[in-house]
Amino acid sequence: MTDLDPLALLFIDAGASDDPAPAYARLRTECPVARTPGLAGDMTVWISGYDDALWALKHPEVFSSAAEAIDIGQSHDLIPLQVDPPLHTKYRRFLAEWFNSRAIAPLEPEVRRLVNELLDDIAPSGSCDFHEDFATPLPSTVFLAMMGLPQDDLDDLLRWRDDIIRPAADLEEAEAVRARTGAEITAYFDAQIDGLREHPRPGFWSDLVNTEFEGRPLERGELLGMAFLLIIAGLDTVTATLDCMIEYLAGHPDRRRQLVERPGLTTDAVEEMLRALTPVQLVPRLIVEDATIGGVDLKAGDHATIVLGAANLDPAAYDEPDDVDFERKRSINLAFGGGPHLRLGINLARLELRVALEEWHRRIPEYSIVPGSVIAHSPGIRQTDQLPLVWPVA
């Protein structure tokens, strides 16, 4: 037990979402593993050190991703996220056909084309709201093209994404918003399954509907669980990450010039900024087996929160972790999780981030945040509400 309230520290205290590093440092120093009362009267375990976080991620037999770990309005298990090994391993191996590096690499020319289409409109203007004009439409357009979904549906999909991840409501209302939104998402994808089985079309969603898993068609519940997870992951994480990276680079011109002058450094820069900025601050788990970690006894039935952002700034794992060093020799990080549940879309996300930064800096090498702008970040997944930028135009 600890007198420190990790929930308040990370989500309620002023400025915690805008600059979480001080909160992370307090967690690691005062209670690297904390067991505290949760909102519903249960107990919640908070893990903030790198080694403990990595152990938790690698041991789903203790730290389970089962459906009880998180409820965001879904009516079916989020596959493969809410399924533990050994079934998780089978689902992941099946889905890797579309998400492994060999499958993702051929998408680069199309991603680069989409990036430059956005920049054709943005670059000559000398200003933009990066969040609205670039960070949101890029991964959304890539996602819809990959899924084979109509671009006309984007507004609905983005609204559903926001109502699930960051509903504008108090805790009780948020639960109702998520439930209503989850039903709408389920209805949207459910309406397409029968039609796609009769009339397949290009795209990952149609492929899923018509591909066999272990010698049988996927069940409707399996398909809906996969689709629900894909819409949340495909439309949100890269947007938030681009926001954080460009905000950082706009405020650190020395680092920005490194990427302008040495574009080959972008791959390493992406990994280092993922470590240092960690847009997805934490992941939930459910303790399903009594265990002791960091000297703290955990009980089956406890909820757990693995604070990825704090782990990625742990001085026990990284030399001078608060420094952003694009040539850091060790930048292996937990931004995409770890262990069996390492993010399925990691290769696509890395491709989108690298190409976006390469092309942006090729065409807009100098930029800054509009003076006087107040940039706020959502908690949990650190996405900006706006990011107004300006740059010189020849």
In eight-state DSSP terms, residue 296 is E
**What is the reported pLDDT for 67?**
66
Q: What is the pLDDT of residue 312?
A: 97
Distance CA 227, CA 230 (A): 5
**Structure confidence at residue 70 (pLDDT):** 67
Predicted local confidence at residue 284, as pLDDT: 92
The domains found in the chain, sorted by start residue, are 6-390 (1.10.630.10)
Q: Say what angle helices 137-147 and 346-363 make with each other, to 10 degrees.
A: 130
The b/e string for 128-141 (b: 16+ C-beta within 10 A; e otherwise) is bbbbebbbbbbbbb
pLDDT score recorded for residue 171: 65
What does residue 288 show for φ and ψ, rounded to 5 degrees?
A: -115, 0
Distance CA 47, CA 41 (A): 19
Whether the CB-CB separation of 231 and 185 falls below 8 Å is answered with: yes
Q: What is the pLDDT of residue 69?
A: 61
* pLDDT value for 166: 80
pLDDT score of 40:
66
Q: Say what the pTM is.
A: 0.93
- Quote the CA–CA distance of 171 and 345 in Å, as a whole number: 29
Structure tokens at 346: 């990691």
Q: From first to last of its 394 residues, what are the pLDDT tens digits of the chain?
A: 567 889 889 888 767 889 999 999 999 999 999 999 876 668 999 999 999 999 999 999 999 988 666 666 677 888 998 888 899 999 999 999 999 999 999 999 999 999 999 999 999 999 999 999 999 999 989 988 899 998 899 889 888 888 888 887 666 788 888 889 989 999 999 999 999 999 999 999 999 999 999 999 999 999 999 988 888 888 889 999 999 999 999 999 999 999 999 999 999 999 999 999 999 999 999 999 999 999 999 999 999 999 999 999 999 999 999 999 999 987 689 999 999 999 999 999 999 999 999 999 999 999 999 999 999 998 889 999 999 999 999 7
The pLDDT of residue 4 is: 86
pLDDT value of position 164: 84
- Contact predicate 308/20, CB 8 Å: no
> Can you give the pLDDT at residue 295?
92
Cα(365)–Cα(368) distance, integer angstroms:
10
How far is 191 from 210, CA to CA, in rounded Å? 15
Q: What is the pLDDT of residue 196?
A: 94
The reported pLDDT for the residue numbered 68 is: 64
Provide the pLDDT for residue 242. Answer: 97
